[in-house]
Structure 1
Amino acid sequence: MASNAPVGKPTDMSAPRLPKVAGIDSTVPAPPHTTAPLPGVPPAASPSDAALPPGVLIQDRLASWVSDLTTLHELTERLIKTSSLDGALREVLGAGAALVGARRGMAVLEPADGLGPTSTIGLGLAHADLGTIETVPRGSGSYGRLLDGLPEAGPTAPGPSSTRPAHVPEPIAIRDVRTEEGLDPRHREVAARLGYAASYALPLATEEAGGLGAAVWLYDEPAEPDERRRHLIGLYGRFATEHLARLLQVERARVRVATVAEELLPSRLPRVPGVRLAVRHLTGPQGGGDWYDALPLPEGALGLAVGSVSGTGPSALAAMGRLRASLRAYAVMEGEDPVAVLSDLELLLRLTEPARSATALFAYAEPAQRRIVLAGAGHAPPLVVGDRRTEFVETSLSAPLGMLTCWEAPSVELSPAPGETVLLYTDGLLRRTGDATDRAFARLHAAAASVPGADRSDPGAVADHVLRTLLPEGLDPAVEGEDVVLLAARFA
């Protein structure tokens, strides 16, 4: 049975020292003559206290208090800089290990509402070690018992239920796995195999946020955090839970937006003789109005389109869906004339959504003849990538759709050579680099020119190389901004 009473100190092997903060040694636990400074923690009894002058004792207590508060401030400052659930869990594990005096641990994200996402992160534990720990029966492991007792989020609306807050389970300390009563034999086997002798498990839960998961830290020898350490990790754990709850909301919103956006876009790219297609679509947390399309047309022709609707969120997604559906209809009726297609699209946008603007590029391709006719409305020019050239298509400058009373711009014709790839993209690809427009175009050109020769035959590999070069860290899911669309068409 788990025991929560303080019994001694962690061993030196398992108890790293916290860094000095503001000139004060913030080592936990405090020296014997120092009373625990934080509210709710009883003072440590020490015979030497009576021998100290009152002023010295007060200064000592204040110094320890300031040290604890400064340490917590630094740890929470580091935590709030994390922008992903996995990054936040790793930070929680590292900070918690320092606070409780452990060397290894694991954190499990498993929201009590069952809506996910779920993940397991280890500190000082390999992936195989985490799998070994998960073989312990859930009801025997301390973190498993906490997860099974996690509450759902507390009520947010006033009413009778508001007076009955959800119960948050207490931390579970196992001072010695070998002698603890009630443990499953498999628990002792796993502990012996991985070389840990004690554990301290903390629920990642609050009454307001509900239960999000649990963290457990492992000691190399029998040990248990004292009351002061418990108090510090409890304060930090409540703050960490609220931060994780915010990140969870962002992640769930991003997934919902991405799902809606994908449903509004083609479920698959068409197969047309003479051309191979690939697309990459990256979505931000709020969801933008960037879109693409590839539409088979009569006589072996192919319509290619990319565009962007102003704004973000559900309204932009809805506008994007309407605009894309309309363009498909216009492309079937008069796809051989890209200028007419965009003119009809501009008229529709001006009549139905006068407060919104959009950019678009439509290309009518005849793969058998390797001929493309295209027109753009305020959109970035395509890029042709081949063994002998990497150059932007010279298109005429034109205003975005919805900006003029009557939109019209001349079309451009080009003939890609065999093996060349034409890249259509949205402005989000350029703006996500964070560079000025000229610099972003130059970086895009350099990225396309540096595609390895072995990858040039695969449009998907070309698109991946360009994205990795321009956005080496990918699209940060927590940073608001435009979506990124990259549509590659390689001609045989």
Structure 2
Amino acid sequence: MDEQAVMRERLRRMEAVTDAALSRLGVPEMLDELLERVRVLLGTDTAVILLLDPHARQLVATAAKGLEAEVRQGVRIPVGQGFAGRIAQSRLPVIVSDVTSADVISPILLETGVRSLLGVPIFAAGDVVGVLHVGTFTRRRFGAEDIALLQLVADRAGVAAHIRSAKAEQQAALSLQRSLLPPQLPELAGLSMAARYLPGHEFGVGGDWYDVFPLPSGWTGLVIGDVSGHGLASAVVMGRIRSALRAYALVSDDPAEVLTLLDRKVRHFEAGSLTTALYTMISPDRAAVRLSSAGHLPPVLAVPGRDTVLMDIPVNAPLGVGHPPRRSVTETALPPRSLLLSYTDGLVERRDRIIDVGLKALVSAVQADDPHTVCSLVMSEVAQDPATDDIAVLAVRRETAGPAVSP
């Protein structure tokens, strides 16, 4: 074959794997089509994509041609072990001209009779997200051109894998959001309330949360909290902490004791996560509130005929940090038509200013008004647009007459 023919063949191969039509396929279809094309272009019998599960540090068989059993059986290869695991660890192509049991740990490769293998890492944003490998049933020596073409295919697969992973995490995060953030707040006699949640990133949920629940004693619990970080990982931790707090709230009507129990749980089961929480309890007659803060910013209190203030309450250590602190409770009156607004730090913090500026703006925006109106005003006047951190806001107002409830 002359030089021009060689160049034309190289161009044909490149066009086959960079075809714009591939981008119009769904992710599973794109991966499937890529594998079929690379198997034809390289003249191989098998082609497999394994994507990285970063939490388990394992490669998971995701798409295959000629080795479909690996996908059906959910084959997992630890990073650093076997043929694919070595590629993921070294971030370099690997060729095995004569496959033996010492080279691979997937028995399916040996049972199928794969003789020679070529594999390359799949990258996305500079990180290894998987491995692409091809194989033949007869002995073959793969060369530099084979490696270059397979890496080109891997780059396309990396884009698809990144899209697939982002969509999966986003969907999971949104599902958590729907299950963990109340779709609507409870209707409780003597109280009106509203809330807002605004994500500061693409996944739509993070570690910020709010919660409202009536208790058997007649008290009402209100929680706002913040688990550090973003996305699915923080949302999962937030969900566990939220559930634990609800359970401890059934044990005690002392918010400091509830947070003390929650602190023990975080230290033991969620070590390494920085979590703040403000737990507020409203009395059955709605005339008083008890508050305890675990590293969380104090709420804003607006009382008709008085200046709106940032409540002066002790802010104890966040959950799971340092030595277990002695947690304190503040009890104060909640006059009729008063509004209490809790929030997370994303509402008032900015990188280019001290937090006092944001707190002052917040206090100026809060009035003893309808909670929905107050939330809208706070979000329009205080929240950064676009949000760079998650924001949760919870506003509760005592109406003129509280319920006749006995604890």
TM-score, normalised via structure 2 length:
0.57
Aligned counterparts of 1:368 and 1:285: Cα–Cα separation in 2: 42
Uncovered stretches (5+) of structure 2, i.e. residues with no partner: 1-22, 42-158, 400-407
Q: Which has the larger radius of gyration?
A: 1
Give the C-alpha shift of residue 397 in structure 1: 3.0
Q: 1:371 aligns with which of 285, 288, 310?
A: 288
Uncovered stretches (5+) of structure 1, i.e. residues with no partner: 1-109, 116-151, 166-242, 450-455, 476-480
Query: Which residue does 2:247 correspond to in 1?
Result: 329
In the alignment, residue 260 of structure 2 is paired with which amino acid?
Answer: S
Q: Percent of aligned pairs with the same residue?
A: 30
- Alignment of 1:352 onto 2:269: yes
User: Which structure 2 residues correspond to residues 283-322 of structure 1 after superposition, within 5 A?
Assistant: 283=199, 284-286=201-203, 287-322=205-240
Note the alpha carbon deviations across 1:219-264, whole angstroms, 9 max, x for none. xxxxxxxxxxxxxxxxxxxxxxxx9x99999788656523322212
Note the alpha carbon deviations across 1:7-30, whole angstroms, 9 max, x for none. xxxxxxxxxxxxxxxxxxxxxxxx
Structure 1's 431 and 410: CA in aligned 2 closer, same or farther, altered over 3 A? same
Q: 1:470 aligns with which of 373, 377, 382?
A: 382
Aligned counterparts of 1:302 and 1:324: Cα–Cα separation in 2: 16
Note the alpha carbon deviations across 1:91-130, whole angstroms, 9 max, x for none. xxxxxxxxxxxxxxxxxxx9764x9xxxxxxxxxxxxxxx
Query: Which residue does 1:410 correspond to in 2?
Result: 328
Aligned counterparts of 2:297 and 2:32: Cα–Cα separation in 1: 47
In the alignment, residue 379 of structure 1 is paired with which amino acid?
Answer: H
In the alignment, residue 383 of structure 2 is paired with which amino acid?
Answer: L
Q: 1:272 aligns with which of 185, 188, 195?
A: 188
Note the alpha carbon deviations across 1:324-381, whole angstroms, 9 max, x for none. 00000111110x2111000000000001122212101101111524100010010000
Give the C-alpha shift of residue 274 in structure 1: 1.0
Aligned counterparts of 1:341 and 1:307: Cα–Cα separation in 2: 14
Q: Which SS does the other structure have where 1:298 is aligned?
A: coil
Q: Which SS does the other structure have where 1:273 is aligned?
A: coil
Aligned counterparts of 1:445 and 1:164: Cα–Cα separation in 2: 67
Structure 1's 391 and 285: CA in aligned 2 closer, same or farther, altered over 3 A? same
Q: 2:393 aligns with which of 452, 461, 486?
A: 486
Aligned counterparts of 1:472 and 1:356: Cα–Cα separation in 2: 25
Residue pair 2:348, 2:383 contacting (<8 A) in 1 also: no
Residue pair 1:276, 1:490 contacting (<8 A) in 2 also: yes
Aligned counterparts of 1:248 and 1:349: Cα–Cα separation in 2: 32
* Superposed CA RMSD: 3.3
Aligned counterparts of 1:319 and 1:294: Cα–Cα separation in 2: 19
Residue pair 1:273, 1:300 contacting (<8 A) in 2 also: no
TM-score, normalised via structure 1 length:
0.47
In the alignment, residue 349 of structure 2 is paired with which amino acid?
Answer: R
Residue pair 1:401, 1:407 contacting (<8 A) in 2 also: no
Structure 1's 434 and 281: CA in aligned 2 closer, same or farther, altered over 3 A? farther
Aligned counterparts of 2:202 and 2:256: Cα–Cα separation in 1: 34
In the alignment, residue 328 of structure 1 is paired with which amino acid?
Answer: R
Aligned counterparts of 1:246 and 1:302: Cα–Cα separation in 2: 44
Give the C-alpha shift of residue 405 in structure 1: 2.3
Higher strand residue share: 2
Aligned counterparts of 1:371 and 1:269: Cα–Cα separation in 2: 20
* Count of residue correspondences: 258
Q: Which SS does the other structure have where 2:207 is aligned?
A: strand
Give the C-alpha shift of residue 474 in structure 1: 5.0
Aligned counterparts of 1:435 and 1:153: Cα–Cα separation in 2: 48
Give the C-alpha shift of residue 461 in structure 1: 1.2
Aligned counterparts of 1:111 and 1:461: Cα–Cα separation in 2: 44
Residue pair 1:305, 1:362 contacting (<8 A) in 2 also: yes
Give the C-alpha shift of residue 301 in structure 1: 1.6
Give the C-alpha shift of residue 396 in structure 1: 1.0
In the alignment, residue 279 of structure 1 is paired with which amino acid?
Answer: A
Residue pair 1:156, 1:162 contacting (<8 A) in 2 also: no
User: Which structure 2 residues correspond to residues 142-181 of structure 1 after superposition, within 5 A?
Assistant: 154-155=30-31, 159-162=35-38
Aligned counterparts of 1:344 and 1:297: Cα–Cα separation in 2: 17
Aligned counterparts of 1:255 and 1:464: Cα–Cα separation in 2: 27
Note the alpha carbon deviations across 1:389-423, whole angstroms, 9 max, x for none. 21011111321111122132221112122111100
Q: Which SS does the other structure have where 1:406 is aligned?
A: coil
In the alignment, residue 293 of structure 2 is paired with which amino acid?
Answer: G
Query: Which residue does 2:94 correspond to in 1?
Result: none
Aligned counterparts of 2:351 and 2:397: Cα–Cα separation in 1: 25
Aligned counterparts of 1:469 and 1:433: Cα–Cα separation in 2: 18
Aligned counterparts of 1:440 and 1:153: Cα–Cα separation in 2: 49
Residue pair 1:288, 1:482 contacting (<8 A) in 2 also: no
